[in-house]
Structure 1
């Protein structure tokens, strides 16, 4: 199932969501302009490499700052057009409503914190991995969890694939997002040494979103900035 749009209008302009999408797209365009070797070096420098982070934490504390910064920078680096396109599609569909219920600044903090927790979860599961983790999926997983909590009955226009054909149907968010999370759990396992999907980052980000959204949602009386 691929979500295409929801029927959940917002009351405010989601400029943080738009800004995050723009930042990810700009970084991806920059990646496309890099020669192959420069691209590999960029991913290595900006991505979260669990083995490097673990090594720095245990034996090289003077290098921990750079390792810690990659927990943030990795959220804006992607490995291909499908990777960035799907992430930004999910962020646009579900992020604008969460920004609406949290406020702009709170949404940005929520997004980044979920991304950080997601990366920590993957590092904890694969501490010796030398494959850089990149992508906004962990942070966006937190957004999906928040949407599931806040708007379980919202209709999501979804592209559903059958054996020989596909169909676009409106499906409640609780089914779309619940099915997405179920797939992550079913696919959980040791990360391929050559790379692959950091499933535990998705699971960690989702659980973080479930736990944090009650604290981040604003009261109606608060100003939209917060």
Structure 2
């Protein structure tokens, strides 16, 4: 994975891939007027040879295989599980030698070595940080949203009378005349926390926990909350627009629009990461989306436009976040 990302990153910084014949050795060159800057990655086996100095023979073979007109400057980067055993290879000053500790995902540059080579230090460390396994986080955002929904349900159905409950739904549900004529824009958000009954609440919250915990663990708390609430708001806008066009006076409540936004975001992450994120496959997700949408088509009192709007909004928002992150990682750094 590290070498795949290096292969993607270096061309963005002016390097070209060299065709080398030795197995486990990958070379890149940046051709400039005064010299050719070469970076050679040597992916060492798990078990190092007894005589580590024999590794230097690979360097000589690489140099013999490459021919440049003019001056050629070399940086050799060893990738190994045992950096201490090959530290002796970094003692000379003729060529630059760095080590990547494979297990620790850490770049080692010793004192006698050049530490500023065509911005390679920043590039390598950026890729190492990107591919470093992240500790699974507690889904505080998901749990918090579920907690608020449950609390509001308890207040509505345990502490309020039927008349008070109906009045609360009428004053907080998504109803387009109240939003457009009375400017009660808060309804777009408050309607996401109101549910019509225990089955409605349980179905939404179980789904939110199952899907939301995956997405929040992948993108973090802040981005998850952004995806959830923006998707929910956009889902409400789509639902209202549909009702306005069809002149339908429908009051809509529930978190399903925002939840479908999280489903759409997860779909985006899966499809753009070769079909797998944290044990959820693309076919399984497609089957889930199909069942969720199709069940709504045949059931009454289901705001399918909010589902569609949330699903599309979540997918597009996730795509934007991924493109922004990719752009940030690919942007060359300057000193």
Q: Same fold (TM over 0.5)?
A: yes
Asked if residue 124 in structure 1 is aligned to residue 244 in structure 2, the reply is no
Structure 2 runs not aligned, ≥5 long: 1-133, 330-335
Q: Is the 8 A contact 2:193 2:254 kept in 1?
A: yes
Deviation at 1:53?
2.4
1:153-203 C-alpha deviation (Å, 9 max, x unpaired): 3587xxxxxxxxxxxxxxx543343234335665787x97xxx00001000
User: How far apart, in 2, do the equivalents of 1:142 and 1:89 lie?
Assistant: 15
User: How far apart, in 1, do the equivalents of 2:214 and 2:234 lie?
Assistant: 22
User: How far apart, in 1, do the equivalents of 2:241 and 2:309 lie?
Assistant: 10
What's the C-alpha RMSD, in Å, of the aligned pairs? Answer: 2.9
User: How far apart, in 2, do the equivalents of 1:133 and 1:212 lie?
Assistant: 23
More helix by share: 1
Question: Structure 1 residues 96 and 50 mapped into 2: Cα distance closer, same or farther (>3 Å)?
Answer: same
User: How far apart, in 2, do the equivalents of 1:146 and 1:77 lie?
Assistant: 23
User: How far apart, in 1, do the equivalents of 2:174 and 2:150 lie?
Assistant: 19
User: How far apart, in 2, do the equivalents of 1:86 and 1:178 lie?
Assistant: 19
Question: Structure 1 residues 188 and 25 mapped into 2: Cα distance closer, same or farther (>3 Å)?
Answer: closer
Deviation at 1:216?
3.0
Which is greater in Rg? Answer: 2
Structure 1 runs not aligned, ≥5 long: 1-8, 57-62, 157-171
More strand by share: 2
Task: Look up the match of 2:256.
Answer: 137
User: How far apart, in 1, do the equivalents of 2:303 and 2:157 lie?
Assistant: 22
Task: Look up the match of 1:39.
Answer: 165
Task: Look up the match of 1:92.
Answer: 209
1:4-50 C-alpha deviation (Å, 9 max, x unpaired): xxxxx972111111101101110111111221111111111111012
Question: 3-state SS of the aligned residue for 2:276?
Answer: coil
Scaled by the length of structure 2, what TM-score is found? 0.50
Q: How many residues align?
A: 187
Asked if residue 27 in structure 1 is aligned to residue 135 in structure 2, the reply is no
Deviation at 1:94?
1.1
Question: 3-state SS of the aligned residue for 2:186?
Answer: helix
Q: Is the 8 A contact 2:152 2:194 kept in 1?
A: yes
Residues 61-210 of structure 1: pairs in structure 2 closer than 5 A:
63-64=182-183, 66=184, 68-127=185-244, 128-151=247-270, 152-153=275-276, 173-183=281-291, 196-210=301-315
User: How far apart, in 2, do the equivalents of 1:188 and 1:97 lie?
Assistant: 24
Higher relative contact order (CA 8 A, sep 6+): 1
User: How far apart, in 2, do the equivalents of 1:83 and 1:173 lie?
Assistant: 27
Question: Structure 1 residues 10 and 18 mapped into 2: Cα distance closer, same or farther (>3 Å)?
Answer: farther
Question: Structure 1 residues 12 and 219 mapped into 2: Cα distance closer, same or farther (>3 Å)?
Answer: farther
Q: Is the 8 A contact 1:187 1:199 kept in 2?
A: no
User: How far apart, in 2, do the equivalents of 1:85 and 1:100 lie?
Assistant: 22
Q: Is the 8 A contact 2:174 2:251 kept in 1?
A: yes
